[in-house]
A and B are shown apart, each in its own frame.
Chain A
Amino acid sequence: MDLENQARIKDLCDKYGNEDLIVVLGGAEPEASGLAAETVATGDPTFAGPLSGVSLGLKAYHIFELKDEIPADVYEEQVGMMEMVLDVDEIVNEVKTYRK
């Protein structure tokens, strides 16, 4: 996960706490999305960024999981094409793993 994003998420978590904060992912690959979800939950597994050894305990959701929360026309315009292209189930399953 991008080191700069790790720093930004850490700052937000420090400021607001982890109870009412979720991370929304837009990754195109199951592995990369899972890695991001793992990073914000239990820490950076690659030990490269500010979240190395830092367990924020944040829950991450892929945008595909939040379809029902978003007005249909907006979702279609912003995500519709990618939903057709990407392996939605595999990505969602991978991200879910780190919320358990």
Chain B
Amino acid sequence: MNYPVVKGAAYALVQANSMLLHQGSTQITERLKNEQSEHLKALPEHLRSFEDAVCYPPNQAYIGNITPDQLKEIPHPWYENPIAGASRDGKYGEIMPEDEFFGLMKMVDSFDLVVLEESFQAAVKEKLQSHPILKDIKEITKLDSTAHSADEIQKLVAEHNAQPLYFAGKLVGCVKKAHEFDEALSSEVMLGNLANKASAVLVLKQLLAKTGLNPEQVDYIIECSEEACGDMNQRGGGNFAKAIGEICGCINATGSDTRSFCAGPAHALVEAAALVQSGIYSNVVVLGGGCTAKLGMNSRDHVKKGMPALEDMLGAFAVHIGENDGVNPVIRTDAIGRHKIGSGASPQAVMTAIVTDPLDKIGYKITDIDRYAPELQNPEITEPAGAGNVPMANFKMISALAVKRGDIQKADLMKAVDSFGMPGFAPTQGHIPSGVPFIGHARDMILEGKIERAMIIGKGSLFLGRLTNLFDGVSMIMEKNSGVVATDTGFDQEQLRKMIAEAMREFAKSFRE
């Protein structure tokens, strides 16, 4: 059988302090309740510089400049142990400052909703014109004209409900609403969707640049963030995937959006693997851009504890799934884990369905997987907010299951965690931490012969949508390529063997009767 392979992965981060203050849902709620709140007054003092965000060790792990194992060696708090001389450019992508990102938002905006102030626009145009991979996007010409004066922007914000965009303390632009009355096209929704689209464009451009994939070779794009694009009559109509592919020159691709809260990317990867293995498409890209609403989500706790507001990063990722090339790690499509509707909601039932059921299918033990990548939230963000160390909790659960199954001794529970775990290094952007940040590292580690296989796990909290209390989770195993590429002769030897065996059993039975 020819399994599909992971041909490449790219990752991008955008530092977004202005959007944290003005469009993060925690701050929006706070402002509605009390515009003069202590939190809103204190928060600006806790924002960090772009340089600090670049040197922050988990961000360097996310874009591939250090491995999760190297991150593990850096003492906490990571924000007090920056990596000196760290670069915004990474092995898998980049970290972008907010001014350039506002320029990119305007470039990808098809309906002239993003308005930038004249001198600011000229400055970001210059920066983006020298950006190694964004300069060739033809929509860069949007930065040549239609700039507005500061007064015009002020008026749009004050009188027309436009969302303000600040940089270095100055109002430098805004995002207008796309409809007079439609809530699904409000300025707040449009800003979130455009930021999502722009960050996904950034990461897809990175994927194309880093892996040499020709945009014209992309057959299908699956977008799997948690935003909804539509209007009042079809609020989640879509289609982010095609909107993103259009900007990146994927002229031969179509695409669609897949949703399942934080488990979305894992579902999308399985769908991509299936589309490739079936032969329907040869090259599928799974991607997701960042979420503005989640910026500064736990900032109340970070401010209270005297920490920097670490949730200032929009996250984005893109993964290329292609046909078996005999080299890249395969996706074991015969061992996909899934939390079924009838699986039950206890943590044990969930982990059994996602982790051990698929292992049982192919005769593996828990310890046969070298690395598990469940929800990889950076614990430095979640612990101060009382949500604990999420990846560590997952590793312990997997280890406890191994004890219950007799794969390891109880005394070795933490030893197993240490062996197959890793520190969380992803921003708390919902779908972003859900297993996928490790795909790039896992691919490299497998290609370098450091590990044989890894399990990527996505889990989602469906109750947040108030339609069901069901949980969700999907997993897939990435494994070293055997190097054998089966040629499709239309002749299935295994099937034939089964048919002959069946015929002989029937024949033997007829003798007994």
Contact = CB atoms under 8 A, between A and B. Distances in A.
Interface of A: 4, 28-29, 31-32, 35, 46, 77-82, 84-86
Interface of B: 300, 346-349, 351, 386-388, 393, 396-397, 399-401, 403-404, 410, 413, 466
B428 to A, nearest CB: 15
10 contacts: A4-B466, A31-B386, A32-B386, A77-B346, A77-B349, A79-B348, A81-B400, A84-B403, A85-B396, A85-B399
A80 B348 contact: yes
A80 B386 contact: no
B386 A78 contact: no
Q: Is the interface of A mostly helix, strand, loop or mixed?
A: helix
Contacts of B401: 81
A29 B386 CA distance: 7
A35 B386 contact: yes
B261 to A, nearest CB: 15
Contacts of B399: 85
Contacts of A31: 386
A85 B393 contact: yes
Given A35-B386, A81-B400, A84-B396, 19 more contacts: A28-B388, A29-B386, A29-B387, A29-B388, A32-B386, A32-B388, A46-B300, A77-B348, A77-B349, A78-B346, A78-B348, A80-B348, A80-B404, A81-B351, A81-B404, A82-B347, A82-B397, A85-B399, A86-B393
- Identify which of B351, B397, B466 gathers the most chain A CB atoms within 10 Å of its CB: B397
Nearest to B30: A48
Contact of A82 (B348, B388, B403, B466): B348
Contacts of B403: 84
A81 B395 CA distance: 12
Contacts of A77: 346, 348-349
Contacts of B404: 80-81, 84
A85 B397 CA distance: 6
Nearest to A4: B466
A80 B410 CA distance: 13
B473 to A, nearest CB: 15
Given A32-B387, A79-B346, A84 B393 contact: no
Kindly list the 5 A-B residue pairs having the minimum CB-CB distance in the complex, ordered from nearest: A85-B396, A81-B348, A31-B386, A84-B400, A32-B386
B403 to A, nearest CB: 7
Contacts of A29: 386-388
Nearest to A35: B386
A81 B393 CA distance: 11
A31 B401 CA distance: 25
A84 B417 CA distance: 13
A4 B466 CA distance: 10
B169 to A, nearest CB: 29
Contacts of B300: 46
Contacts of B386: 29, 31-32, 35
A86 to B, nearest CB: 8
Contacts of B396: 84-85
Nearest to B352: A81
Contacts of A84: 396, 400, 403-404, 410, 413
Contacts of B388: 28-29, 32
Contacts of B346: 77-79
Contacts of A81: 347-348, 351, 397, 400-401, 404
Nearest to B382: A29
